[in-house]
Structure 1
Amino acid sequence: MGSTLVFAMFGMQSGPGSYIGMKPELAFDVPSQFVFIHSHSLWTEILFGIICFYMVDLGDYLMHRMGHHYPFMYKKFPFAHFVHHNWSFINPLVVVSSPFIHPVTISASFVYLLFLSQGFLKAVLIAHGVKMFANFASHLGCDPLPWLTKLNHKVGGWIPWIPLYHQYHHLHFTKQGNFGNLTCLWDYVFGTLIPESVYHIENGEPTPEIAARMNKPPERMEAEISRYLKGRMGLNLS
């Protein structure tokens, strides 16, 4: 994982009066003229942790959207984002079913390095912790907190709780959209929400068309999904 590589590049300064995690520094030197923030109180770390998270979320959204828009990123090795979508039904295991090189991970790594260069280890740990929670929550395959999803819709999608939104992203018979993996903030900003997901949130049930397709016998639904995936499952190594 790209994030693991970033943290591996980060060393811990230990000496008299310090302990692990108290005085972190990059494994390589950052010239002092490029260090702009010197205050590292708890509240500063929390504030920059929030900023870091939404910067990661923006990079995640943009790279994810590109992964669907450009065929070479969706189908070809080593990106092949389609591997992540090659599941009949969404579940948390889908999170780890990703290609060899995931552009989303690369974009997050650059954001982490930016904040780590300013000494914000705790901020990055906060952002990464929320990122991991949100990523697995978005792939639950169900929405155990519909009231929170409805609240998220009312406030513009910035809450990191989007299992219903992302379930529509993985449906094989809706238009592309809901590209946010952590929040849906940027889908609201850039107008890429899937209308059927908004209908579901506002009305508490899917559209009649979606309901009709989902209420088919399991074997018929499986057959429809298999027909859709046919020809889209082969990895292009050229």
Structure 2
Amino acid sequence: MNTIMLANHPTLIVAGIFLAFVLLELACSAFKQSNGSRRDVLIEAIGSGILVTITFPTVMWLSAKILSLTVPELKDALITLPWLAGFALFLLLDDMTQYWWHRLTHRVPMLYALHRAHHSAPYMSIRIVYRNNSFYYWLMPGIWLSGMLIYLGLAPVYYIYLIVKMTVIFAAHSSVPWDEKLYRIPALRPAVWVLERVISTPSTHSAHHGLTAEDGVTHYKGNFGNLLFVWDMLFGTAKITRRRPPAYGIENLSPISWTEELFWPLARRRHAKPAAKTNEEVAP
């Protein structure tokens, strides 16, 4: 009974896991990475707050509302679907579509403006997980599709899926390189080889956040996976080095205000000259 009650409150569990990673970084003196930058604190606090309190619940409500108005007869239509099949649907319609959305934002300069806040941080940390423009998540198809799957009766599956997914994402963004410990254990080599090709890890995801490809580790045009790294393996965007970049951020970044990073296109620079494309904005 207690397990069922906990499963029906995934937000509290996810918040608890997030706090655990915060405490882990604090314990390892790896949480305050930005030297107290007020700009970074504002981007992370306001951006995360908007997602958690406004964007996510609103998109979930709207997606279900759209179905209730257009196809009300489909309410709970998938409620008898086997659990594993339901979980696979979320992997395909949420995690895989997020891979493609993430990949697209790195290919289209206008969309990259919605994502650059996530990469402008000069560090890896649990702090940057939700660090994005306030419109980035409104356009993410996976959230809308997840809300629709919940309407179709897969809420219990989504609760578990969300906990698993966010745990992996938190761990992949963490400034604590927990995967390095696993690499050093000979008995775990086969399992770790499989693990780093299935889910995102600090090594593979930090490479996506690296400052320059010249360091031999950074791979900002790949390693787009969130929960599953399998998508990168399947679609040819994977790079595995088991190392972390020496520096993070966006090479040749033209500085803009924190308000523009959070609220573009509503907030824009005035009379600014067109900036040269950064290495992240140029399609391969």
Interval containing the TM-score (normalised by the shorter chain): 0.5 to 0.7
Residue 106 of structure 1 corresponds to 140
Residue 211 of structure 2 corresponds to 172
Residue 231 of structure 1 corresponds to 254
CA–CA separation in structure 1 for the residues paired with 2:119 and 2:102: 12
On the 8 A contact 2:63/2:145 being kept in 1, the answer is no
Kindly state the Cα deviation for residue 118 of structure 1 after the two structures are TM-superposed.
Answer: 1.7
Letter in 2 for 1:37: L
On the 8 A contact 2:59/2:138 being kept in 1, the answer is no
Provide, for residues 162-203 of structure 1, a one-character-per-residue CA deviation record: whole Å limited to 9, x for no partner.
221100000011242111122211100011113xxx2x33xx
Residue 91 of structure 1 corresponds to 125
Letter in 2 for 1:60: Q
The number of residues matched between the two structures is 195
Q: How does 1:44-83 map to 2 (within 5 A)?
A: 44-75=82-113, 79=114, 81-83=115-117
Residue 193 of structure 1 corresponds to 238
SS at structure 1 position matched to 2:228: coil
SS at structure 1 position matched to 2:198: coil
Kindly state the Cα deviation for residue 128 of structure 1 after the two structures are TM-superposed.
Answer: 1.8
Larger RCO, structure (CA 8 Å, separation 6 or more): 2
CA–CA separation in structure 2 for the residues paired with 1:95 and 1:56: 17
Residue 39 of structure 1 corresponds to 80
On the 8 A contact 2:79/2:154 being kept in 1, the answer is no
Relative to structure 1, the CA distance from residue 73 to residue 105 in structure 2 (aligned partners, 3 Å threshold; closer, same or farther) is closer
Kindly state the Cα deviation for residue 94 of structure 1 after the two structures are TM-superposed.
Answer: 0.7
Residue 46 of structure 2 corresponds to none
Cα RMSD after superposing both structures: 3.5
Provide, for residues 90-123 of structure 1, a one-character-per-residue CA deviation record: whole Å limited to 9, x for no partner.
1110112211111586212222133123211111
Is 1:163 matched with 2:209? no
The runs of 5 or more residues in structure 1 that have no matched partner are 12-24, 215-220
On the 8 A contact 1:83/1:98 being kept in 2, the answer is yes
Letter in 2 for 1:154: V
Identity %: 19
SS at structure 2 position matched to 1:130: helix
Kindly state the Cα deviation for residue 152 of structure 1 after the two structures are TM-superposed.
Answer: 5.4
TM-score (norm 2): 0.57
Residue 57 of structure 2 corresponds to 4
On the 8 A contact 1:53/1:128 being kept in 2, the answer is no
Residue 128 of structure 1 corresponds to 162
Relative to structure 1, the CA distance from residue 36 to residue 101 in structure 2 (aligned partners, 3 Å threshold; closer, same or farther) is same
Residue 14 of structure 1 corresponds to none
Kindly state the Cα deviation for residue 53 of structure 1 after the two structures are TM-superposed.
Answer: 3.0
SS at structure 2 position matched to 1:154: helix
On the 8 A contact 1:168/1:178 being kept in 2, the answer is yes
Relative to structure 1, the CA distance from residue 155 to residue 95 in structure 2 (aligned partners, 3 Å threshold; closer, same or farther) is closer
TM-score (norm 1): 0.67
Residue 194 of structure 2 corresponds to 154
Letter in 1 for 2:206: Q
CA–CA separation in structure 2 for the residues paired with 1:179 and 1:231: 23
Kindly state the Cα deviation for residue 10 of structure 1 after the two structures are TM-superposed.
Answer: 8.8
Relative to structure 1, the CA distance from residue 190 to residue 172 in structure 2 (aligned partners, 3 Å threshold; closer, same or farther) is same
Residue 151 of structure 2 corresponds to 117
Relative to structure 1, the CA distance from residue 125 to residue 116 in structure 2 (aligned partners, 3 Å threshold; closer, same or farther) is same
CA–CA separation in structure 1 for the residues paired with 2:161 and 2:77: 20
SS at structure 2 position matched to 1:145: helix
Relative to structure 1, the CA distance from residue 10 to residue 68 in structure 2 (aligned partners, 3 Å threshold; closer, same or farther) is closer
